[in-house]
Amino acid sequence: METLGSTTVICTDKTGTLTQNRLGVNTVVLSGREYSADDPLVSGATSFQTFLKSMSVCNNAYLTENDGFVGDATEGALLLYARNHADVATLRRVQQIAEQPFNSTTKRMITVADAGDGPQAFLKGAPEVVLDMCDRMALNGDQVPLTEERRADVIQAYRQLAGRGERGLGFAARACGHNEVPEKGYVFLGLTGMIDPPRPEVPDALARCHSAGIRVIMLTGDFGLTAKTIATQIGLMSEKGRVVQGEELSAMTDAQLQEMLRDEPEIIFARIAPRQKLHVVQALQANGEIVTVTGDGVNDAPALKNADMGVAMGVMGTDVAKEASNMVLMDDNFATIVVAVEEGRTIFDNIKKFIAYILTSNIPEILPFIAYVLLEVPLPLTVILILAIDLGTDIIPALGLGAEKPETDVMKRKPRPRSEGLLSRNLLLMSYGIVGMVQAAAGFFTYFTILFSGGWQWGQELAGSNPLYCTAITGFFASIIICQVADVIICRTRTQSLFTVGVFSNKLVLVGIASELLLLACISYIPAFNTFFGTAPLEAWHLILSVPFAVAILIADEVRRLFVRRGNTFVLRWLTW
Active site residues: 13
CA dist., res. 125 & res. 132, Å (int): 11
Alpha helix segments (H runs only) across 290-435: 301-306, 319-324, 334-360, 362-374, 383-388, 395-402, 425-428
CA dist., res. 278 & res. 304, Å (int): 8
Q: Which of 373, 350, 296, 359 is nearest to 506 (CA)?
A: 350
Count of CB atoms within 10 A of residue 577's CB? 20
* Chain CA centroid to CA 216, Å: 11
Q: Is the dihedral of CA 351, 517, 390, 430 positive or negative?
A: positive
Beta strands at 309-313 and 327-329: parallel, antiparallel or unpaired: parallel
* Chain CA centroid to CA 360, Å: 32
CB 24 within 8 A of CB 194: yes
SS3 487: helix
CA-based R_g, the chain, Å: 35
Length of the chain: 577
Residues 6+ apart with CB under 8 A from 346: 5, 404, 405, 406, 407, 410
State residue 576 phi and psi, 5-degree precision.
-105, 120
Q: What is the DSSP string of 11-69?
A: EE-STTTTB-S--EEEEEEETTEEEETT-GGGGGSTTHHHHHHHHHHS---EE-TTS-E
CB 412 within 8 A of CB 212: yes
CA dist., res. 358 & res. 220, Å (int): 47
